Amino acid sequence: MSGCNPSRANKFLILYFCPSLLTFNMSESIVISSGAKGEQYETLLPQIEALVKGESDLIANLANCCAVLKEQFNWLWIGFYLVKENQLVLGPFQGPVACTRIAYGKGVCGTAWASGKTILVPDVEQFPGHIACSSLSRSEIVVPVYKNGNIIGVLDIDSAEFNSFDETDKLYLEQLVKSVVE
Ligand code: SME
């Protein structure tokens, strides 16, 4: 049809119904870095802090946090389990479908919740009681999420490689969850 540009018309309709897209494009605002893992976290952390600063909704912030980590590191699975009625219940995540509920003290997540400490698992097969949500997972890190001194959930990250996580991940991921939640 002469004089008609459907793609321009579609863009107009999208912006008419979603005006926020005019002023804010989240994916373009994240700078992905290379180099040593510590440097990657150093670049990422201030960006995550800036991202969550203007938003008070916990779920929205946890969801974006997962998206940013996935973009930077592309691990197999990144997500939060949140404490609800004395269980861990699946929250925002990026990656394959996962177990929805984990009991206190069970698996790596439930153990991190019970101990209140970050757990590094170089080989998931060697962790007694590990819960295999995905058969592709080889190593894992679980970081408890504290709010006002209480554990409100855990950040769980799975890798398809053995030995993916170390003290550097522990250090930065603990900082990250703190800045996202507090
Ligand atoms: N492996 C975890 C279960 C959660 S999934 O990995 C997403 C555990 O043992 O608690």
Which CATH number does the domain housing residue 158 bear? 3.30.450.40
pLDDT of residue 182: 83
98, 90 contact by CB (below 8 A) = yes
HSE on the CB side for 7, CA within 13 Å? 0
Q: Does the residue 34 lie in any domain?
A: yes
Q: Does the residue 129 lie in any domain?
A: yes
Cα of 98 from ligand 1 centre, angstroms: 8
| Number of structural domains in the chain | 1
pLDDT of residue 29: 72
Q: Does the residue 131 lie in any domain?
A: yes
pLDDT of residue 33: 87
pLDDT of residue 86: 95
pLDDT of residue 28: 53
Cα of 32 from ligand 1 centre, angstroms: 27
Q: Does the residue 144 lie in any domain?
A: yes
Within 10 Å of residue 171's Cβ, how many Cβ atoms? 13
Ligand 1 nearest-atom number relative to CA 129: 9
Q: Does the residue 150 lie in any domain?
A: yes
Residues with CB under 6 A from ligand 1: 77, 98-99, 102, 107-109, 130-131, 133, 137, 140, 156, 158
pLDDT, tens digit, 9 for 90 and up, residues 35-63: 999 999 999 999 999 999 989 999 999 99
Domain of residue 111: give its range.
6-181
Low-confidence spans in the chain with pLDDT less than 50:
1-25, 27
Residue whose Cα lies nearest atom 1 of ligand 1: it is 131
Q: Does the residue 1 lie in any domain?
A: no
Ligand 1 nearest-atom number relative to CA 81: 4
pLDDT of residue 16: 46
78: CB partners within 8 A, 6+ apart: 66, 69, 70, 93, 94, 95, 155, 156, 157, 158
| The token pair that represents 141 in the structure block | 């890190």
- At 158, give phi and psi (nearest 5°): -115, 140
Ligand 1 nearest-atom number relative to CA 110: 10
152, 181 contact by CB (below 8 A) = yes
pLDDT of residue 30: 85
